[in-house]
Amino acid sequence: MSDAIPSFPAAPGLLVDREMLSVDGLALEVRVSARRSRLGLTVERDGSLVLRVPPTCSRERAEAFVRAGRHWLDDKLRLREERQPLHPTRQLVDGEVHRYLGREYRLLFVEGPGAPVQLVAGRLRLDRSTAADPKLARRALADWYTRAGLRWAQGRLQPWAARMDVSEPRVEVRDVGRRWGTHRPGRIALHWATFQLPFHLVDYVIAHELAHARVAGHGPDYWRLLRRAMPECARWKAELDEMGRRVWMGDLAEQ
């Protein structure tokens, strides 16, 4: 079910939800919301630009707002370019280093019964027959992060939910694309790759998603709530922005 605002014919000169607006070479997707009284600009993870406006916003007002915010947009786009992901590839070879909750573990190819991937005595053991098929090995390792991460995360939600006075949601661990996590009413999903990060950054991702149970979007109220629950959030966000670029997201090197 779409959460988009129902489309009604707009009055002449007013913007329409989901239309594309072009301003001085910038292409922006318009999002109309009855809950807004002011205009807002965001740069999405994929680099696309979104202009959020109230229903009574005219095209002229929107264009003037975008032009006034051009320097801010240029700075954000430049910063995004500087922080482009450097996600490494992996060969999945014997002895290769992988991380779990910030600690390094080397792959050890083994033979015998048991799960395809196991963390035993400080080594990440990968079944040799599984390792022979790169796609199968990648899937097995992602599945291991999924299971191990879910066990770890299930015990971490309650303290942050209590600090924000929200109900503890159901948590899932899966591939959520290029995001660290997502929030939907009653549940959050965390990317399995998140669990390569140090545990305090996984906590940040959890708290970040939980805050959306109270406040949609990333406006001042959102950051006030998150800062109250997690005073270190600005420092940890900066650390995630930098360290997260170097996390393996599942792509394998060409064989």
Residues 216 and 156 in one domain: yes
Are 24 and 73 in a shared domain? yes
Do the Cβ atoms of 105 and 120 come closer than 8 Å?
no
At 107-128, the pLDDT tens digits run 999 997 888 999 999 999 999 9
> Is residue 167 one of the residues assigned to a domain?
yes
Q: What percent of the residues of the chain are helix, what percent strand, and what percent coil, each to the nearest 5?
A: 40, 25, 40
Is the Cβ–Cβ distance between 229 and 213 less than 8 Å?
no
**What domain range includes position 78?**
20-82
CA angle (66, 179, 236) in 5-degree steps? 85
Tell me the per-residue pLDDT of 147-172, one tens digit each, with 9 for 90 and over: 999 999 998 999 999 999 999 999 99
What pTM did the predictor assign?
0.68
C-alpha dist (Å) from residue 63 to 56, 70, 112, 174: 14, 11, 65, 40
3-state secondary structure of 95: coil
* Total structural domains within the chain: 3
Q: Are residues 127 and 159 in the same domain?
A: no
pLDDT in tens, the chain (255 residues): 233 333 434 455 799 999 999 999 899 999 999 999 999 999 887 778 999 999 999 999 999 999 999 999 988 888 777 666 566 788 889 999 999 999 999 999 999 788 899 999 999 999 999 999 988 999 999 999 999 999 999 989 999 999 999 999 999 999 998 899 999 999 999 999 999 999 999 999 999 999 999 998 899 999 999 999 999 999 999 999 888 888 998 875 543
Task: At 166, list the tokens.
Answer: 């929200």
